[in-house]
Amino acid sequence: MAVWLVRSRTFVHSLSKKMGFLGVYPSRSSWDASFMQYSSSSSAILSLVDNRYGSRPYGFFDNSATRFLVPRFKSTEPERDLDSQHIKEDEEDHDQALDFPGGKVPFTSEMSFISESGDKRVPCYRVLDDNGEPIVSSNFVQVSKEIAVKMYSDMVTLQMMDSIFYEAQRQGRISFYLTTSGEEAINIASAAALSADDLVLPQYREPGVLLWRGFTLQDFANQCFGNKADSGKARQMPIHYVSKNHNYFAVSSPMATQLPQAVGVAYSLKMDGKNACVATYFGDGGSSEGDFHAALNFSAVLEAPVVFICRNNGWAISTPTEEQFRSDGLVVRGRAYGIRSIRVDGNDALAVYSAIHAAREMAVREQRPILVEALTYRVGHHSTSDDSTKYRPLNEIEYWKLTRNPVNRFRKWVEKKGWWSDKDDSELRGSIRKQILQAIQIAEKTEKPPLADMFSDVYDKQPSNLQEQEKLLRETIKRHPQDYPSYVPV
């Protein structure tokens, strides 16, 4: 298969060059007329992006019933404006440029190394200030009252669910838990900007995406308590959610493995012509894995409709970002791989919503990957197995918890719009608390999955080695019943 693909691409490259020499390529304007059909509902943000980048596929046999296309976009071509002087010289003397795959590369007599960093850091897109006031001349996607109220309600629900489930783990009622404290805006706002048809490959700190899509509090409790109502049949440790009905792939503990998988899923959507994309989440720590780099490279080369959403919360467990990389965060890495990128304030729900909305539109419409770096802060411990006060100061945590709180900031904006009140907030919090406690009580009383579920769902017909393992386990339980929980049906 790999040999066939390489030969096919070589054939296309060779033939396209010959057709270009023969003048068979259609004019730029004809391609613009045929392919630059943008939706009239595109936001101002998308219009600005389009004016800067545009999109133009190369092709030939334009009037033929059999059209053979090799899509490429402007952003994947060399940015000639950076070397306009050399390009001008190249036009005068073709010998002064190297005809290399991807475009002509101009020569220079000056030995100059590319700087390891820019003079200034990449700016962070923001809509609301810390007091919930819209920044003057801010450009963002408008949000209706219905969506805004649901966004805030789900952010509060996520915040309260984390608090109560964390305490349940401390009481010994569940074995493990991990909160999203400080990152509620990334969870809910990004989910709100996606379509229900978009597929999600999460890391482990994105339960808010499931909550937005309709995963109930009872569903969350069933998974954390590992009962027979859990859609994963209690095979995963707590917070490793999965829901086929909500297009949410299973959480996997190994770091960054979801990233190259997301590219493959996105490429399948492209092959099937689906009007959807893949959204995959990861932290700054995940970007230090090789899978991150492989995923970005493959997505750019294959032009897969995938949105990479990085939650740069400053800490990879106890490792700060300055000990992970020397680059200006993650956003600058996109350009190195030929991927359009943006940095956004992850504690600003409106900014996250607008950025992901625009990224999703570009990914689907132009069939390209997009990288979004959301700057935020992990207010809670990494998990219930961690004590973050051992490696970071308390005043730093308190500053982000109080001053930069994403839930409080968005509430101020919703209240100023006249869509929310103190009474609404009190009623919501009282109702959510009651629902969560009730869900926990039901989950605790629900029977555990049968022992046989450990060996099912992998093969259509159980192989002999699994049959032998199941038999051995049952015999061991009979010999040592005191060492096995009595509440698990054998």
- The reported pTM is 0.81
Q: Identify whether the C-beta of residue 98 lies closer than 8 Å to the C-beta of residue 107.
A: yes
- Residue 224 tokens, joined: 């954390």
Rounded-to-5 percentages of helix, strand, coil across the chain: 50, 10, 40
CA distances from 176 to 80, 162, 166, 171, 212 (A): 53, 12, 8, 11, 23
Burial class (CB in 10 A: 0-12, 13-18, 19+), 423: exposed
Q: Is 296 helix (H, G, I), strand (E, B) or coil?
A: helix
Residues designated as active site: 167, 253, 382-383
- CATH fold of 140-443: Rossmann fold (3.40.50)
Sign of the torsion angle spanned by Cα atoms 26, 30, 32, 35: negative
Query: Which tokens sit at 204?
Result: 């482990």
Q: Give the sign of the dihedral formed by CA 465, CA 468, CA 470, CA 476.
A: negative
CB-based contacts of 342, cutoff 8 Å, min separation 6: 125, 331, 355, 359, 370, 371, 372, 373
Question: What is the enclosing helix (H) or strand (E) of 269?
Answer: helix 258-272
Tell me the β-bridge partners of 104: 99
Average pLDDT per consecutive 10 residues, the chain (490 residues; last block may be shorter): 44 44 38 38 47 39 35 46 47 72 90 89 96 93 97 98 98 97 98 98 98 98 97 95 97 96 98 98 96 98 98 95 92 97 98 98 98 98 96 96 96 98 98 98 96 91 95 95 89
Spans of all domains in the chain: 2-75+77-106, 140-443, 452-483
Task: Give the model's pLDDT for residue 118.
Answer: 84
* CA 226 distance to own-chain centroid: 26
**DSSP at 58:** E
Written as one letter, the residue type at 138 is: S
Distance between CA atoms of residues 309 and 356, nearest Å: 9
State residue 95's pLDDT score.
Answer: 63
Residue that has been written with the tokens 């629902």 in this structure: 435
DSSP code per residue over 446-463: SPPPPGGGGS-SS-SS--
User: In sequence order, which residues have a C-beta less than 8 Å from that of residue 25 and are 6 or more positions away?
Assistant: 19, 58, 59, 60
Query: Both ends of the chain: CA-CA distance in Å?
Result: 46
Residue 469 main-chain phi, psi, to 5 deg = -65, -45
Backbone angles phi, psi at 139, to 5 degrees: -110, 110
Task: Round to whole Å and give the CA distance between 78 and 466.
Answer: 55
